[in-house]
A and B are shown apart, each in its own frame.
Chain A
């Protein structure tokens, strides 16, 4: 029943642009709708800490699903709030037509719906289908402006992610093969397979997990399968960039986690842990190299997403309680901080009409609030105290050191240091200095002010203390992840 609300609301909102023609109204209804959904998810996630919901063997949600539902609803809300002004201006400046703006909202809702769907179904096959559907729905949002670059990005996005996902299908079938042959379970339901996981064939399981990890890892943006990510993130409509980076990548990780639990129950956490740490570290190294040489502001943020996905993967890979805690918390922190950065970058691109970092100067002068939030945001993003990302990164590091993975921790620290330097270098050039003489000082619209303050508060508050309510959600999720 509760899940029906979570899934039904985006569908209901998707009907609005079909009926109402005025963009302003559609935008306001969407923001209100997603706000309600966010509050609802917050309550739902809290209730799921104690129990799990299942409905007709099809829907299944436990604390882990609750956490992801909360994450998706949060980012959907802030993305729809940002869209109010962003899409409004695009329509006013005749960049897109009214019809196209309505299409945007329709696709936005479908995209959010498919993400919700993938986190609340029991069947591993259906999870596969809904993750593929997230690619297909969001591809139109990546290629939305129909320019050469955006269509190229969308094409690469669909093709690379679909190949990845096709490999994941093969992995899923191998899971089914060993479940039906060795354990006699003729279903792909996660609850049923994980209940009999001790009986599965370890060899087949290992191979299947490799396919799953490479497959869904492509969608999660883990290097070296990340090549679609900078293109798609930089070309997508800015609110959608936030959705892609903030939650889409994590939805793919959610699928990996579900499989990981089964594999860990059967053969212990070393195998999956080592693989995840390995891929995570490669992502960190790749991100560090490309962040240094980057010229395009949104691509810079995209590579930073690869870095953070790497950190999350490393945290999960370390496999201790603290590692899981750090990784889950990091998912949340990254979603909040990265959305803020994308929104700031989106404002800058609108104002300066350029993606090139070296051509943009004096943002603090020309757009004071955006500039100030970006200044805080870049320190938060690169992991400085007292912001939230610092906290989760240090948790992951402690987990690594207590697990005696010194080499991994060393690479981790080196990459973080390089990325810190790179981000601060790029953003200081962009924020400080003189604004172009002809440029007017930008007055932020109300929706942006609310948005920036909301995100800023979360970012600082979670760096100082974690609310008990949220803490419980994380702890309950870890109980599901940790199978020992």
Chain B
């Protein structure tokens, strides 16, 4: 349990370091896989049949379909593999570490969590969310923004699984459905952007101002 949380944390830092789109997708896939293992161990430990379904859905959607779809899309629209970093990897890493330190303080001081595993779980999940936002803001390719958002959602799930055990079953199913639809729709828009602008660099979308 604790080990998995730490692995997820390390993987998230690796996401920050990656310079290529494919590396980012792979990182997201690995992170989701850890989330799947976490949900599965929880399910076995708590003998909770609903959690099995949740784990299976994570495996199907976040480890399987969505990364596959994203990879297919990257290949299809032949974008160059460079992510367009506006902050270099080392500085990004420093910022990410600062963000996670902030989450740790937040978990301990403000949330008032007492036992150590809870603090670790909460601060890791909050830092995953913050790092997801960081990726969205400072990586300029449209695909990176999609991944950033999926990472934020992973962080929320980590909170739910690690802190509360799980959230009500049909809510979780609905959220999965939502994420899936979301990924598809964003994919459609990436195709459209690519067709109309012949690139997917978000920092060059600047017609609408003021």
The answer to whether A126 and B153 touch (CB under 8 A), given A151-B193, A151-B196, is no
| A230→B126 CA distance, assembly (Å) | 31
| A158→B136 CA distance, assembly (Å) | 13
Is A402 an interface residue, CB under 8 A from the partner? no
Q: Are B168 and A170 in contact (CB under 8 A)?
A: no
Name the B residues within 8 Å of A204 (CB-CB): 111
Q: Are A129 and B171 in contact (CB under 8 A)?
A: yes
Q: Are A173 and B185 in contact (CB under 8 A)?
A: no
Q: Are B153 and A203 in contact (CB under 8 A)?
A: no
The answer to whether A129 and B174 touch (CB under 8 A), given A149-B208, A152-B205, A177-B164, is yes
Contact with B along A215-236 (1 / 0, CB 8 A): 0000000000000001100110
| A423→B202 CA distance, assembly (Å) | 33
Q: Are B167 and A188 in contact (CB under 8 A)?
A: yes
Q: Are B155 and A136 in contact (CB under 8 A)?
A: no
Name the B residues within 8 Å of A64 (CB-CB): none
| A123→B173 CA distance, assembly (Å) | 13
Choose from B142, B152, B202, B208 the contact partner of A163 (Cβ within 8 Å).
B152
Is A464 an interface residue, CB under 8 A from the partner? no
| A201→B112 CA distance, assembly (Å) | 10
Name the A residues within 8 Å of B174 (CB-CB): 125-126, 129
Is A38 an interface residue, CB under 8 A from the partner? no
Give A295's nearest chain B residue, CB to CB: B210
| A169→B167 CA distance, assembly (Å) | 11
Chain B contact residue count (CB 8 A cutoff): 43
Name the A residues within 8 Å of B136 (CB-CB): 159, 163
Q: Are A155 and B152 in contact (CB under 8 A)?
A: no
Is B181 an interface residue, CB under 8 A from the partner? yes
Give A125's nearest chain B residue, CB to CB: B171
Residues B142-189 near A (CB distance < 8 A): 142, 145, 149, 152-153, 155-156, 159-160, 163-165, 167-168, 170-172, 174-175, 177-178, 181-182, 185-186, 189
Q: Are B145 and A159 in contact (CB under 8 A)?
A: yes
Q: How far is the CB of A400 from chain B (nearest CB, A)?
A: 30
Is B110 an interface residue, CB under 8 A from the partner? yes
Is A353 an interface residue, CB under 8 A from the partner? no
Q: How far is the CB of B49 from chain A (nearest CB, A)?
A: 15
Q: Are B149 and A163 in contact (CB under 8 A)?
A: yes
Q: Are B192 and A166 in contact (CB under 8 A)?
A: no
Choose from B110, B181, B196 the contact partner of A136 (Cβ within 8 Å).
B181
The answer to whether A148 and B196 touch (CB under 8 A), given A136-B181, A139-B189, A188-B171, is yes
Chain A contact residue count (CB 8 A cutoff): 51
Choose from A133, A173, A180, A235 the contact partner of B159 (Cβ within 8 Å).
A173
Q: How far is the CB of A26 from chain B (nearest CB, A)?
A: 24
Is A132 an interface residue, CB under 8 A from the partner? yes
| A169→B164 CA distance, assembly (Å) | 14
Give A232's nearest chain B residue, CB to CB: B208
Name the A residues within 8 Å of B74 (CB-CB): none
Is A294 an interface residue, CB under 8 A from the partner? yes
Q: Are B159 and A170 in contact (CB under 8 A)?
A: yes
| A235→B2 CA distance, assembly (Å) | 48
The answer to whether A162 and B210 touch (CB under 8 A), given A151-B189, A151-B192, is no
| A163→B182 CA distance, assembly (Å) | 12
| A234→B209 CA distance, assembly (Å) | 11
Q: Are B189 and A143 in contact (CB under 8 A)?
A: yes
Name the B residues within 8 Å of A140 (CB-CB): 185
Q: How far is the CB of A227 from chain B (nearest CB, A)?
A: 10
Q: Are A173 and B164 in contact (CB under 8 A)?
A: yes
Is A329 an interface residue, CB under 8 A from the partner? no
The answer to whether A169 and B192 touch (CB under 8 A), given A158-B185, A163-B149, A231-B208, is no
Residues A153-199 near B (CB distance < 8 A): 153-156, 158-159, 162-163, 166-167, 169-170, 173-174, 176-177, 180-181, 186-188
Is A293 an interface residue, CB under 8 A from the partner? yes
Name the A residues within 8 Å of B159 (CB-CB): 170, 173-174, 177
Is B45 an interface residue, CB under 8 A from the partner? no
Is A36 an interface residue, CB under 8 A from the partner? no
Give A299's nearest chain B residue, CB to CB: B210
Name the A residues within 8 Å of B170 (CB-CB): 123, 126
Is A43 an interface residue, CB under 8 A from the partner? no
Is A146 an interface residue, CB under 8 A from the partner? yes
Is B207 an interface residue, CB under 8 A from the partner? yes
Interface centre among B155, B175, B177 (most CB of A within 10 A): B175
| A162→B185 CA distance, assembly (Å) | 12
Is A12 an interface residue, CB under 8 A from the partner? no
Q: Are B142 and A155 in contact (CB under 8 A)?
A: yes
Name the A residues within 8 Å of B197 (CB-CB): 148
| A155→B171 CA distance, assembly (Å) | 26
Name the B residues within 8 Å of A158 (CB-CB): 182, 185-186, 189
Name the A residues within 8 Å of B168 (CB-CB): 123, 125, 176, 186-188
| A158→B187 CA distance, assembly (Å) | 12
Q: How far is the CB of A102 from chain B (nearest CB, A)?
A: 18
Name the A residues within 8 Å of B178 (CB-CB): 129, 132-133, 136
Is A35 an interface residue, CB under 8 A from the partner? no
Q: Are B192 and A180 in contact (CB under 8 A)?
A: no
Q: Are B208 and A152 in contact (CB under 8 A)?
A: yes
Q: Are A126 and B171 in contact (CB under 8 A)?
A: yes
Is A401 an interface residue, CB under 8 A from the partner? no
Name the A residues within 8 Å of B205 (CB-CB): 152, 155-156
Is A379 an interface residue, CB under 8 A from the partner? no
The answer to whether A136 and B189 touch (CB under 8 A), given A126-B174, A188-B167, is no
Q: How far is the CB of B118 from chain A (nearest CB, A)?
A: 10
| A177→B171 CA distance, assembly (Å) | 14
Which residue numbers of B lie inside 8 Å of A, CB to CB? Answer: 110-112, 126, 129, 132-133, 136, 142, 145, 149, 152-153, 155-156, 159-160, 163-165, 167-168, 170-172, 174-175, 177-178, 181-182, 185-186, 189, 192-193, 196-197, 202, 205, 207-208, 210
12 A-B pairs within 8 Å (CB atoms) are namely A125-B171, A125-B175, A129-B177, A149-B207, A156-B205, A159-B145, A162-B182, A163-B149, A166-B149, A169-B153, A203-B111, A235-B208
Return the 3 tightest CB-CB contacts between A and B, nearest first.
A125-B171, A166-B152, A129-B174
Given A132-B178, A133-B181, A166-B132, 13 more pairs with CB closer than 8 A: A128-B175, A129-B171, A133-B178, A152-B205, A156-B205, A163-B136, A170-B155, A170-B159, A177-B159, A180-B164, A186-B168, A188-B168, A188-B171
